[in-house]
């Protein structure tokens, strides 16, 4: 069985993983592009966009590492799209077009049932209404010996941390202040939950911090 990881999660210096006012025009929240500039500049991101270029270096190595040996993803409803409440129709199929970058089964946490969506490139969206542990059980089964990646957003990462279900979290801390938005650590006592910082690496555009459960640096 693989590990449960939350890699390549962008974070501002003041602890926000998304900006305020998330909507169709601002999927990351207002101003939050600043915490993902490190990723947008990488060769890994360029390849995901089917284009040449992109920087190679420490940031790119961490971005690429986040996709290694991932057999399934879990994402929250906010990460899947801006639609709230019961699904009005089947029109919304995610932010990523017909060929999303996951290429694995993706389990979407939601309170409202919806039929599975099969996309191009091996991505299949499954909608789970039974909670985070049910989603993880399904993702583990789908991933087999590979890892399960918790993709976000902030509320989803927080829920899995609070339940001690994440084995490893990689934070890409950007030199940016958001001032408001979704605070990742609000109300969480990570040491009490068994987490410790095990690696810190300065990159070109972000500082990479590895947090693991059950380990002491």
For 39-70, the pLDDT digits (tens) are 999 999 999 888 889 999 999 999 999 999 99
Could you tell me if 170 and 210 are in contact, meaning their C-beta atoms sit under 8 angstroms apart?
Answer: yes
Q: Which residue has the tokens 């801390």?
A: 173
The pLDDT assigned to 104 comes to 97
Cα(72)–Cα(123) distance, integer angstroms: 9
Average per-residue pLDDT in the chain?
93
pLDDT of residue 216: 56
Rounded CA-CA distance 135/140 in Å is 9
For 82-128, what is each residue's pLDDT tens digit?
Answer: 888 888 888 888 888 889 999 999 999 999 999 999 999 999 999 99
pLDDT exceeds cutoff 60 at 217: no
Q: Where are the domains of the chain?
A: 4-15+28-83+100-213
Of 93-97, 176-180, 211-215, the range with the lowest mean pLDDT is 93-97
Q: What is the pLDDT of residue 161?
A: 97
Cα distance between residue 161 and residue 164, in whole Å: 5
Q: Tens of pLDDT along 134-159?
A: 999 999 999 999 999 999 889 999 99
The CATH classification number of 4-15+28-83+100-213 equals 3.40.430.10
């Amino acid at each position: 069985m693989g590990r449960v990881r939350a890699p390549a999660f962008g974070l501002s210096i003041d602890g926000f993983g998304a900006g305020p006012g998330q909507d169709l025009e601002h999927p990351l929240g207002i101003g939050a592009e600043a915490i993902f500039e490190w990723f947008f500049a990488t060769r890994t991101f360029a390849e995901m966009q089917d284009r040449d270029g992109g920087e190679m270096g420490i940031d790119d190595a961490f971005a690429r590492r986040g996709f290694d040996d991932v057999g399934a993803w879990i994402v929250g409803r906010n990460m899947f799209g801006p639609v709230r409440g019961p699904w009005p129709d089947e029109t919304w199929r995610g932010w990523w077009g017909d060929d999303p970058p996951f290429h694995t089964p993706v389990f979407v946490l939601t309170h409202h049932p919806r039929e599975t969506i099969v996309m191009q490139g091996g991505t299949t969206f499954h909608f789970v209404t039974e909670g985070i542990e049910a989603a993880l059980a399904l993702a583990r089964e789908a991933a087999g010996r590979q890892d399960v990646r918790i993709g976000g957003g902030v509320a989803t990462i927080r829920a899995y941390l609070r339940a001690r279900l994440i084995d490893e979290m990689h934070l890409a801390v950007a030199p940016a202040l958001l001032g408001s938005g979704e605070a990742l650590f609000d109300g969480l006592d990570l040491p009490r939950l068994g987490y410790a910082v095990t690696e810190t690496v300065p990159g070109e555009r972000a500082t990479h911090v590895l947090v693991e459960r059950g380990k002491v640096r």
